[in-house]
Structure 1
Amino acid sequence: MISKFLKAKHWQLFILMFGIPLILQFITMGSIMFSFSNSEKPEALIMINALTLFPVIMIINSGLLFGWFWSIAIGLQKKVPQSVRMKVKKFQYFFFVPLIYIMLISLLIGFATSGLFIDGNASASIGGGISIALVVILHFFSMFCIIYCLYFVAKTIKTVELQREVNFNDFIGEFFMLWFYPLGIWIIQPKINKIAETESV
């Protein structure tokens, strides 16, 4: 699977990670608007039925994006110079935290949305203020982990490319291209393709 991500063309990844989820979102929103104007069902029931697709879209998008990050960060380690030490274990820990969080929050969205529309009580639907505070804390920690993953992946790319120890100034461009991946993927992935085709160091 790692090699498939490394060898995939930029347009293929763009379609999978951005194009298809975007189309699914448009279809979902379109179905909601159509249902409102043509259905005799209660509006709340229409929203509940339509929003059940959003967690699926989120999981697919996140799975592909994180799969790409993992493939770069782990798949290119064999091309990192032996003199450079990369904190792979730290990356792996920070990688799985947001991934698990996104999966759990996706499941929670369906439950919370159902509770909000049926009960009309946001605090009751997600377990009250303590649960909200916990979700907020986990959310910010997950954001920190994602930023670290972007940092590590960008550093890996530049380290392999330059074959030396690098600092943030060297790979700040790659960092922001990974952050804004719908645009950055068109520049980053050709580099990855080229690196993947070269012989291991």
Structure 2
Amino acid sequence: MTDKFLKAKHWQLFLLTFAIPMVFQFIMIGTMISNIGSETNSDPSSIFNYLQLFTLVMIIFMSIYFGWFWSVAVGLQKKVPENVKMKVRKFKIFFFIPMFYMLLIMLLMSISMNGLMENGEEPSGILIAGLAGVIVPLHLFSMFCIFYSLYFVAKTFKTVELQREVKFSDFAGEFFMIWFYPIGIWIVQPKINEMIE
């Protein structure tokens, strides 16, 4: 699977990770708004059906997006010069933390939404404060892990391109291109294709 991501064309990745999910979200939001505004469907629980569909789209999007990260960071390691040591194990740990966090959030949201729909009661303030006390630090750490993954992917890419040890100033441009993926993929992926060939 790693080779498929590395050999994929930039327009294919753009379609899979940005264009198709964006069009799908526009259609879904438009349908949701028109259904909520109609007099025939006044059931507020229909919003939760759309949220479940949105969650599925996000899982697919994130799988492709993070799959590309993994492919570049791990798949290009065989092209890294032998005298350059990269912390691949640290990357792998930080790579999986946001995934587990996102799954945990989706699970918690699903449980709480189902509980709200069945009970019809408002959640207690203590429960909300407790969840916020757990979720906020986890969310911040997850964001740090994602930024470290961006950093490592950009560093790996530039190390392979220059065939030497690199500093952040060498790959800062690639870091921001990968961060702003819908624009950067048009520049970074063709270079990755050349590296693989």
Q: Which residue of 1 aligns with 2:12?
A: 12
Deviation at 1:174, TM superposition (A): 0.5
1:31 pairs with 2:31: yes
- Quick one: distance in 1 between partners of 2:143 and 2:81? 30
Percent identical across equivalent pairs? Answer: 55
Q: Which residue of 2 aligns with 1:3?
A: 3
Q: Which residue of 2 aligns with 1:64?
A: 64
Q: CA RMSD in A?
A: 1.9
Q: Deviations over 1:24-75 (max 9, x none)?
A: 2112101111212335333421211211112111111111100000000000
Q: Is the CA contact (8 Å cut-off) linking 1:59 and 1:102 kept in structure 2?
A: no
| 97-106 or 146-155, which deviates more | 97-106
Distance 1:123 1:184, change over 3 A: farther
| 53-62 or 73-82, which deviates more | 53-62
1:152 pairs with 2:147: no
- Quick one: distance in 1 between partners of 2:107 and 2:55? 7
Count residues with an aligned counterpart: 196
Q: Is the CA contact (8 Å cut-off) linking 2:91 and 2:149 kept in structure 1?
A: yes
- Quick one: distance in 2 between partners of 1:83 and 1:5? 26
Q: Normalising to structure 1: TM-score of the pair?
A: 0.90
Q: Which residue of 2 aligns with 1:121?
A: 122
1:108-187 matches, cutoff 5 A? 108-114=108-114, 119=120, 121=122, 123=124, 127-187=127-187
Unpaired segments ≥5 residues, structure 2: none
Deviation at 1:109, TM superposition (A): 3.3
1:100 pairs with 2:97: no
Q: Which residue of 2 aligns with 1:191?
A: 191
- Quick one: distance in 1 between partners of 2:47 and 2:121? 13
Q: Is the CA contact (8 Å cut-off) linking 2:116 and 2:122 kept in structure 1?
A: yes
Deviation at 1:192, TM superposition (A): 0.7
- Quick one: distance in 2 between partners of 1:44 and 1:165? 56
Distance 1:131 1:165, change over 3 A: same
Structure having greater relative contact order (Cα 8 Å, sep ≥ 6): 2
| 35-44 or 109-118, which deviates more | 109-118
Name the SS for the 1:83 alignment partner.
Answer: coil
Deviation at 1:150, TM superposition (A): 0.4
Deviation at 1:163, TM superposition (A): 0.3
Q: Is the CA contact (8 Å cut-off) linking 1:51 and 1:110 kept in structure 2?
A: no
Which amino acid letter does the alignment assign opposite residue 168 of structure 1? F
Q: Deviations over 1:155-185 (max 9, x none)?
A: 0000000000000000000000110101110
Name the SS for the 1:191 alignment partner.
Answer: helix
Q: Which residue of 2 aligns with 1:47?
A: 47
Q: Normalising to structure 2: TM-score of the pair?
A: 0.92
Deviation at 1:123, TM superposition (A): 4.9
Unpaired segments ≥5 residues, structure 1: none
